[in-house]
Amino acid sequence: MVKLIKLEPIGQETSVETNGNLLSVLLNKELDVLKECGGRGMCATCHIYVKDGMGALSPISRREQRTLGVITSCKPNSRLACQARVLDNGVTVELPPGMYVNSLQDIEALIGRRADQDMLHPITGEVLVEAGKLITRSTMKQLETTTSFKVGEYLTQTKDA
Ligand code: FES
């Protein structure tokens, strides 16, 4: 059976097979979702807010709970889209603002420009560069000393259990 999903703030409606995960919904809509960990519930890049219908989704697993605990913009209605399966109608999903980057090079490529949206760390969701801020060499220097981008290392260290 097919279940209906609403997506905010883009105001679109879509559908998914019962038990399908929310990540597939977002990918079908060609939304910019990085899925840095490959859908294993270990990164921030598929983090969404459930505006309505939390009870129509599969329960939060221990791993999802643990990852949500690391994400700085986590709220009580946060879920990881790759881990949340749709069991019933009535789910409204809100995508957090900002753009995830998977390396400092992504930011470096924008030196001399203003960030058009918040640039976010792929594991913690931390805002690395705020929207409207000019990206300079000193922004890069500061990020190099304060920000770890060892995402691959983090993912191999984190047990798949
Ligand atoms: S894609 Fe990484 S947690 Fe969902």
Reading the block at residue 16, the tokens are: 């998914």
The minimum-distance atom of ligand 1 relative to the CA of 37 is 2
The minimum-distance atom of ligand 1 relative to the CA of 82 is 4
What is the rounded distance in angstroms from the CA atom of residue 143 to the CA atom of residue 53?
Answer: 38
Region of 145 on the Ramachandran plot (φ > 0 left; ψ -120 to 50 alpha; else beta) = alpha
Strands in the chain per DSSP E = 2-8, 12-17, 47-52, 78-80, 91-94, 99-100, 119-120, 127-129
pLDDT score for 157: 76
CA of 112 to the centre of ligand 1 (A): 31
pLDDT score for 108: 93
Classify domain 2-94 at the CATH topology level.
Ubiquitin-like (UB roll) (3.10.20)
Q: Is 42 in the pocket of ligand 1 (CB under 6 A)?
A: yes
Separation of first and last alpha carbons in the chain: 30
pLDDT score for 42: 93
pLDDT per position as a tens digit, 140-161: 999 988 888 887 787 787 665 4
Sign of CA dihedral 118, 124, 128, 130: positive
The minimum-distance atom of ligand 1 relative to the CA of 46 is 4
Residue 33 has pLDDT above 90, yes or no: no
Q: Is 57 in the pocket of ligand 1 (CB under 6 A)?
A: no
Rounded to two decimals, the pTM is 0.90
pLDDT score for 159: 61
**CATH of region 99-151:** 3.90.105
What is the rounded distance in angstroms from the CA atom of residue 110 to the CA atom of residue 59?
Answer: 39
Q: Is 82 in the pocket of ligand 1 (CB under 6 A)?
A: yes
Q: Is 37 in the pocket of ligand 1 (CB under 6 A)?
A: yes
What is each CA distance from 15 to 70, 86, 144, in whole angstroms? 30, 10, 42
What is the rounded distance in angstroms from the CA atom of residue 128 to the CA atom of residue 23?
Answer: 24
- Domains of the chain: which residue ranges? 2-94, 99-151
pLDDT score for 149: 81
Q: Is 35 in the pocket of ligand 1 (CB under 6 A)?
A: yes
The minimum-distance atom of ligand 1 relative to the CA of 83 is 4
pLDDT per position as a tens digit, 64-73: 999 999 999 9
The mean pLDDT of 28-32, rounded to a whole number, is: 80
Question: Is residue 52 within 8 Å of 14, Cβ to Cβ?
Answer: no
Nearest CA to ligand 1 atom 3: 41
Residue 32 has pLDDT above 90, yes or no: no
pLDDT per position as a tens digit, 51-109: 999 999 999 999 999 999 999 999 999 999 999 999 999 999 999 889 999 889 999 99
For the CA atoms of the chain, what is the radius of gyration? 16
pLDDT score for 156: 80
Reading the block at residue 111, the tokens are: 């030196």
pLDDT score for 160: 58
The mean pLDDT of 126-131, rounded to a whole number, is: 95
